[in-house]
């Protein structure tokens, strides 16, 4: 099986690296020149709190910087950030085999739609990565949380599901990927809270003020989903509709009830935090921005999400100028409530 990964950053290198360890899978990573030079020299190191580090030697994995390298791939995993999807699809279009299966392993609600628009003859599937992956040093990617990858059920995705499982990754084929994406969006509303907090996920989720910020965002999102007739999938032990109430519980009670949610490496942070550290644009418009737009389409407002998106955009500008600040939980909550 030949697999190309378009957009080899944290998720692309994590998935591509695991798949490349299989003898019957050939992986080509397509990414930026500096990142690909590191992989060509050192290969990849894949770490997680749960097992020994895995190393993928450079001779097990091909690297490229142009979409032409996806020619001949049976499966193309798209792992660029949402704002790069259309450009990536246009670059891929002239090169993909007619029967190539394209899989979006991105957050946000519209990436598969964009891929279908730009690649009308190809089969495009929706995937979902439930956990967090960060680059800890060049060529090393750390998985900080757990969960099963999810992918559209059916014949086109079945070989990939089998390859991911054979590579030791937990994976589920699902018939309800649209509902899964909405559930993931609810979880991803925490990315902005975490990015602005400046503290690791476990400490941030252990703090009631930060959790209340997330609860405000989720409550607005759930109201917009209801108005749109959407029911998010239940991905964990708690029904999505109950999450805002759970998040607001006092720290001691939350810590006891939400053990699974807090089973996070002590150093893990959201990839939006990493984007701010590196002065890169974030995906907040595909997360908080999506909730604001959906609410507006149904005559609702989503002020906490709008305010959080504005604060992240301020932080993007500050980080590009080499600055930025960390928000304490009470400060962030006051800022959201001021508009809410
Ligand atoms: N990281 C996580 O923990 C996580 C977890 C679940 C889901 N996700 C989702 O997975 C997707 C990818 O996230 P990520 O964290 O892996 O992002 P990332 O680390 O920024 O990786 C994307 C990489 O693709 C490169 N790229 C963009 N357009 C390209 C093109 N046309 N050709 C070649 N390379 C290109 C980017 O370079 P530039 O930066 O120079 O554009 C970047 O190096 C996002 O939708 C994210 O929300 C991430």
What domains sit in the chain, N to C, each tagged with a CATH number? 2-174 (3.40.50.720), 180-339 (1.10.1040.10)
Query: Is the minimum distance from the CB of 107 to ligand 1 under 6 angstroms?
Result: yes
Pick the atom of ligand 1 nearest to 30's CA: 33
Average pLDDT over residues 196-221: 97
| pLDDT surpasses 90 at 267 | no
Q: State the distance from the centre of ligand 1 to the C-alpha of 340, rounded, in angstroms.
A: 32
Which residue's CA lies nearest to atom 42 of ligand 1?
Answer: 9
Which residue from 212, 234, 225, 240 is spatially nearest to 331, judged by alpha carbons? 212
pLDDT for 339 equals: 55
Q: What is the pLDDT of residues 291-321, one digit of tens each?
A: 999 999 999 999 999 999 999 999 999 998 8
Residue 1's pLDDT band (boundaries 50, 70, 90)?
A: very high
Query: Is the minimum distance from the CB of 9 to ligand 1 under 6 angstroms?
Result: yes
- DSSP-derived pairing of the beta strands 149-152 and 140-143: unpaired
Q: Find residue 45's DSSP bridge partners.
A: 55, 140
Neighbours of 255 (CB within 10 A): 14
Helix axes 303-320, 288-297, angle to 10 degrees: 140
Query: Is the minimum distance from the CB of 194 to ligand 1 under 6 angstroms?
Result: no
Encoding tokens for residue 294? 């959906």
| pLDDT surpasses 80 at 136 | yes
Which residue's CA lies nearest to atom 9 of ligand 1?
Answer: 106
Distances (CA, A) of 320 to 81, 82, 83, 142, 257: 18, 20, 18, 25, 39
| pLDDT surpasses 80 at 249 | yes
195 vs 50: which has the higher pLDDT: 195
Q: State the distance from the centre of ligand 1 to the C-alpha of 10, rounded, in angstroms.
A: 6
Query: Is the minimum distance from the CB of 10 to ligand 1 under 6 angstroms?
Result: yes
| pLDDT surpasses 90 at 218 | yes
- Rounded to whole angstroms, how far apart are CA atoms 69 and 193? 37
Query: Who's near 204: CB < 8 A, 6+ residues apart?
Result: 190, 193, 194, 197, 210, 329
Which residue from 259, 103, 291 is spatially nearest to 191, judged by alpha carbons? 291
pLDDT for 260 equals: 80
Q: What is the mean pLDDT of the chain?
A: 95
Query: Is the minimum distance from the CB of 81 to ligand 1 under 6 angstroms?
Result: yes
Q: What is the pLDDT of residues 24-67, one digit of tens each?
A: 999 999 999 999 999 999 999 999 987 899 999 999 999 999 99
Residue entry with tokens 């053990």: 259
Query: Who's near 89: CB < 8 A, 6+ residues apart?
Result: 78, 114, 115, 117, 118, 119
- Rounded to whole angstroms, how far apart are CA atoms 126 and 255? 33
Q: State the distance from the centre of ligand 1 to the C-alpha of 286, rounded, in angstroms.
A: 14
Residue entry with tokens 């991105």: 106
Which residue's CA lies nearest to atom 11 of ligand 1?
Answer: 106
What is the torsional sign of CA 106, 275, 302, 201? positive
E strands in the chain? 2-6, 26-30, 44-48, 51-56, 61-64, 75-78, 101-104, 123-128, 133-137, 140-143, 149-152, 171-174
User: Is 236:258 a contact under the CB 8 Å cutoff?
Assistant: no
pTM of the model: 0.95
Average pLDDT over residues 224-244: 95
Neighbours of 72 (CB within 10 A): 13
pLDDT for 223 equals: 98
- Rounded to whole angstroms, how far apart are CA atoms 277 and 322? 9
Q: State the distance from the centre of ligand 1 to the C-alpha of 81, rounded, in angstroms.
A: 4
Q: State the distance from the centre of ligand 1 to the C-alpha of 105, rounded, in angstroms.
A: 10
User: Is 109:83 a contact under the CB 8 Å cutoff?
Assistant: no
Residues of the chain above pLDDT 70, percent = 99
Query: Is the minimum distance from the CB of 31 to ligand 1 under 6 angstroms?
Result: yes
- Rounded to whole angstroms, how far apart are CA atoms 167 and 60? 14
pLDDT for 236 equals: 86
Q: State the distance from the centre of ligand 1 to the C-alpha of 9, rounded, in angstroms.
A: 5
Pick the atom of ligand 1 nearest to 65's CA: 33
Neighbours of 153 (CB within 10 A): 16
Q: Find residue 142's DSSP bridge partners.
A: 47, 134
Give every strand in the sheet of 149-152, ordered side by side.
61-64, 26-30, 2-6, 75-78, 101-104, 123-128, 149-152, 171-174
Query: Is the minimum distance from the CB of 271 to ligand 1 under 6 angstroms?
Result: yes
Pick the atom of ligand 1 nearest to 12's CA: 16
Which residue from 301, 310, 317 is spatially nearest to 332, judged by alpha carbons? 310
Q: What is the pLDDT of residues 92-131, one digit of tens each?
A: 999 999 999 999 999 999 999 999 999 998 999 999 999 9
Pick the atom of ligand 1 nearest to 283's CA: 47
């Amino acid at each position: 099986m030949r697999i190309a990964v378009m957009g080899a950053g944290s998720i692309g290198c994590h998935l591509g690296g695991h798949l490349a360890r299989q003898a019957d899978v050939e992986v080509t990573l397509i990414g930026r020149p500096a990142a690909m030079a590191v992989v060509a020299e050192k290969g990849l190191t894949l770490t997680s709190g749960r097992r020994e580090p895995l190393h993928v030697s450079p001779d097990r994995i091909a690297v490229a910087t142009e979409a032409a390298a996806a020619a001949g791939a049976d499966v193309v995993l798209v792992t660029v950030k949402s704002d790069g999807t259309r450009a990536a699809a246009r670059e891929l279009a002239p090169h993909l085999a007619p029967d190539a299966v394209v899989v979006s392993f991105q957050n946000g609600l519209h990436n598969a739609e964009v891929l279908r628009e730009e690649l009308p003859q190809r089969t495009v599937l929706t995937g979902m990565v439930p956990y967090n992956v960060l680059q800890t040093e060049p060529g090393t990617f750390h998985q900080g949380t757990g969960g099963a990858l999810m992918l559209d059920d059916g014949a086109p995705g079945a070989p990939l599901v089998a390859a991911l499982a054979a590579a030791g990754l937990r994976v589920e084929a699902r018939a309800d990927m649209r509902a899964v994406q909405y559930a993931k969006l609810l979880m991803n509303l925490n990315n902005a809270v975490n990015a602005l907090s400046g503290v690791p996920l476990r400490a941030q989720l252990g703090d009631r003020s930060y959790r209340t910020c997330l609860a405000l965002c989720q409550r607005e999102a759930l109201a917009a989903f209801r108005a749109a007739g959407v029911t998010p999938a239940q991905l964990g032990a708690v029904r999505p509709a109950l999450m805002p109430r759970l998040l607001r519980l006092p720290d001691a009670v939350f810590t006891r009830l939400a053990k699974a949610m807090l089973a996070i490496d002590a150093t893990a942070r959201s990839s939006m935090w990493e984007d701010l550290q590196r002065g890169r644009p974030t995906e907040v418009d595909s997360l908080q921005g999506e909730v604001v737009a959906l609410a507006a389409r149904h005559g609702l407002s989503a002020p906490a999400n709008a305010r959080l998106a504005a604060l992240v955009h301020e932080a993007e500008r500050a980080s590009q100028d080499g600055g930025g600040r960390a928000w304490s939980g009470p400060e962030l909550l006051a800022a959201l409530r001021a508009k809410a």
